[in-house]
């Protein structure tokens, strides 16, 4: 199932990306099949016009370092790379609630939009705008992909999705994940996390942060077949008080 391609690992689906982008424009890279996310950051061919109709030139990203970390946290990275990873970890750990809008680009170039809500630890909701009937909800232990039109929902363990990296209360990326590359240029700080599973193969998650503010801008999940799903989020609000009902899963519906 690739309808949400960046939200769930192992054939499930998991949303992917976020951004504190200015109201002027939201650059969204178009993913291409079979691209190695660890060696090349997405290069958008254009940008999305903002509320004033203006369009900004797409950002260019530097080549991601192809250094593979060993078992020791941060081994194989120089001091600058470890410092970048530590600053990203500090930012992710500092965010407790977050809401905003997202744009998702699937492997086929299809584009969907919607709203998202995050409350740590472990809770998230993605609501896709019509005509998509999909909601994705995590309640701290499980993730459900719900189809409003068909009145169906599929349930997966939160531990199987890349969402756990963003939803954990505190995280040290170099210690808690397999970071295989860290790079930076004038626009983005880019980290690539790789996860290898015996049954499903290798997944990669590339996260991109603002080089100046270290705010999460977008991420791309690459599945074992090499297909990318990228999402950028904007209009971020880290201070809003979220309704706990947003993150409730009806488990009785799942069992029926």
At 155, which CATH number?
2.50.20.10
Is there a domain that residue 20 lies in? no
Say what the pTM is: 0.71
Kindly tell me if the per-residue pLDDT of 142 is higher than 70.
yes
Check pLDDT > 80 for residue 230: yes
Question: Given this model, what pLDDT does residue 200 score?
Answer: 74
Percentage of the residues of the chain whose pLDDT score is greater than 90 = 55
Q: What percentage of the chain's residues is helix, strand, coil (to nearest 5)?
A: 15, 35, 50
The answer to the question of residue 52 being in a domain is: yes
Residue 7 reports pLDDT greater than 90:
no
Kindly state whether residue 246 falls inside one of the protein's structural domains: yes
Average the pLDDT over each of 103-117, 138-152, 241-255 and give the range with the smallest value. Answer: 241-255
Contact in structure between 57 and 89 (CB atoms under 8 Å): no
* pLDDT averaged over every residue in the chain: 77
Under 8 Å CB-to-CB from 7, ≥6 apart: which residues?
13, 14, 15, 16, 126, 136, 143, 145, 161, 162, 163, 221
Whether 8 is covered by a domain: the verdict is: no
Q: What is the domain range of residue 158?
A: 25-255
The predicted structure's pLDDT at residue 205: 93
């Amino acid at each position: 199932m690739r309808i949400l391609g960046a939200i769930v690992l192992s054939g499930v689906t998991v949303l992917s990306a976020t951004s504190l982008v200015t109201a002027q424009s939201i650059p969204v890279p178009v993913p291409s099949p079979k691209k190695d996310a660890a060696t090349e950051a997405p290069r958008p061919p254009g940008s999305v016009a903002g509320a004033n109709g203006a369009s900004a030139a797409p950002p260019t990203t530097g080549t991601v370092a192809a250094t593979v970390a060993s078992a020791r946290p941060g081994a194989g990275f120089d001091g600058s790379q470890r410092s970048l990873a530590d600053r990203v970890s500090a930012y992710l750990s500092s965010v407790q609630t977050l809401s905003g809008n997202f744009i998702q680009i699937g492997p086929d170039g299809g584009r969907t939009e919607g709203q998202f809500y995050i409350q740590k630890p472990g809770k998230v909701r993605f609501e896709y705008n019509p005509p998509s009937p999909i909601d994705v909800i995590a309640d701290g232990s499980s993730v459900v992909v719900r189809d409003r039109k068909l009145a169906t929902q599929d349930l997966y363990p939160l531990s199987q999705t890349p969402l756990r990296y963003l939803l954990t209360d505190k995280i040290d990326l170099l210690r808690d994940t397999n970071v295989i590359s860290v790079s930076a240029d004038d626009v983005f700080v880019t980290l690539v996390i790789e996860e290898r599973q015996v049954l499903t193969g290798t997944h990669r998650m590339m996260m991109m942060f603002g080089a100046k503010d270290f705010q999460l801008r977008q991420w791309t999940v690459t599945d074992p077949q090499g297909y990318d799903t990228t999402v950028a989020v904007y209009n971020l609000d880290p201070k809003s008080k979220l309704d706990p009902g947003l993150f409730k899963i009806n488990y009785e519906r799942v069992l029926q």
